[in-house]
Amino acid sequence: MTVNDFRRIALSFEGAEESSHMGNPDFRVGGRIFATLSSAKQGYGNLQLTLEQQAAFVEEMPEVYTQEELDAFFKACDSTESLIFSVFLKVGLRERELIHLEWSDLNFKESTLRVSAKPALVL
């Protein structure tokens, strides 16, 4: 996700406006900050979550596999399976997003992968 992607998503919420806080872009609804780009130089944006929202994210945390478990899993995969599961693991795509990837979604120059809706391909 790029800074522009983060900005586009943040501004897609009803009533969202971009402003500035301590010289960094922030996003507000009703005058209250819900996201910032204060850490964009480090490669991420920040969301302001309530304690309840934070607890829900931690509660929903997926199981984490050890390196030994991953090594054994990938050793059992053929080359196609290894590629597919590597993309799942490293990029975090959902199955349908991976299935509908096209070469035009890859930008090798910028080392990015674009994930976008492809309504014509939805089953």
Domain's final residue, options 59, 92, 107: 59
Domain's final residue, options 12, 27, 59: 59
Alpha-carbon separation of residue 3 from 20, 24, 88 (angstroms): 15, 12, 23
Q: What letter represents residue 65's amino acid?
A: Y
DSSP 116: -
Beta bridge partners of 36: 26, 46
Domain span at 53: 3-59
Alpha-carbon separation of residue 84 from 22, 29, 67, 88, 96 (angstroms): 43, 39, 18, 6, 12
Q: Say whether both 7 and 54 belong to one domain.
A: yes
Q: Where are the alpha helices (DSSP H) in the chain?
A: 3-11, 51-59, 67-75, 79-91, 95-99
Q: Tell whether the model's pLDDT for residue 120 goes beyond 70.
A: no
How many distinct structural domains can be found in the chain?
2
Is residue 88 included in any domain, yes or no? yes
Q: Say whether both 54 and 71 belong to one domain.
A: no
pLDDT in tens, 11-29: 999 999 999 988 889 999 9
pLDDT in tens, 51-75: 888 888 777 666 778 889 999 999 9
Q: Say whether both 46 and 89 belong to one domain.
A: no
Q: Say whether both 51 and 17 belong to one domain.
A: yes
Q: Tell whether the model's pLDDT for residue 123 goes beyond 70.
A: no
CA 23 to CA 29: how far, in whole Å? Answer: 19
Is residue 35 included in any domain, yes or no? yes
Using alpha carbons only, give the angle 117, 29, 61 rounded to the nearest 5 degrees: 55
- Quick one: what percent of the chain has pLDDT higher than 90? 26
| pLDDT of the residue at 119 | 64
| pLDDT of the residue at 61 | 64
